[in-house]
A = this chain, B = another copy of it.
Amino acid sequence: MTPGVEHVAGSPAPRSADVAKLAGVSRKTVSRVLNNEPYVSDEARERVLAATEELGYRLNHAARALASGRTRSIGVVALGTAGYGTASLLMGIEQAVRNAGYALRVINTPDGAPKSIAGAVESLLEQGVDGLVVSEPIVEGDVALRIDVPVLFLGAPPAFTATRTLTVGVGAHPLARAATEHLLDLGHTTVHHLAGPRHWYATKDRIEGWRAALTERGAYEPPLLNGDWSAASGYAAGRALAADRSVTAVFAAGDEMAIGLIHALREAGRRVPDDISVVGFDGNPVFAYVSPPLTTVRQPFDAAAEEGIRLLVHAIEEPDTALPPASDPPVELVVRGSTAPPPPPPSGLARPAAT
**Chain A positions near chain B (C-beta within 8 angstroms):** 2, 7, 9, 13, 56, 58-63, 65-66, 71, 73, 80-84, 86-88, 90-91, 94-95, 98, 103-108, 110, 122-123, 125-128, 144, 146, 148, 163, 230-232, 234-235, 256, 259-260, 262-263, 266, 285-286, 288-291
Contact = CB atoms under 8 A, between A and B. Distances in A.
A71 to B, nearest CB: 7
Contacts of A62: 61-63, 65-66, 71, 128
Nearest to A70: B62
Contacts of A128: 60-62
B82 A144 contact: no
Contact of A66 (B63, B235, B289): B63
Number of copies: 2
A56 B262 CA distance: 52
Given A9-B163, A61-B128, A103 B105 contact: yes
A256 B9 CA distance: 44
A151 to B, nearest CB: 14
Nearest to A73: B127
Given A94-B108, A98-B108, 11 more contacts: A2-B144, A61-B128, A62-B62, A86-B87, A94-B106, A98-B107, A103-B105, A231-B286, A231-B289, A263-B289, A266-B291
A86 B84 CA distance: 11
Contacts of A82: 84, 87-88, 90-91
Contacts of A286: 230-231, 256, 259-260
A144 B2 CA distance: 8
Contacts of A125: 58
A128 B103 CA distance: 11
Nearest to A65: B62
B104 A107 contact: yes
B108 A105 contact: no
A215 to B, nearest CB: 32
A231 B255 CA distance: 15
B66 A95 contact: no
Contacts of A2: 144
Contacts of A95: 80, 108, 110
A266 to B, nearest CB: 7
A107 B80 contact: no
B235 A289 contact: yes
A106 B108 contact: no
Contacts of A289: 231-232, 234-235, 259-260, 262-263
B290 A7 contact: no
A328 B237 CA distance: 38
13 contacts: A61-B62, A61-B127, A81-B91, A82-B84, A82-B87, A82-B88, A86-B87, A95-B110, A104-B105, A104-B107, A231-B285, A260-B289, A291-B291
Nearest to A232: B285
B107 A61 contact: no
B285 A230 contact: yes
A108 B91 contact: yes
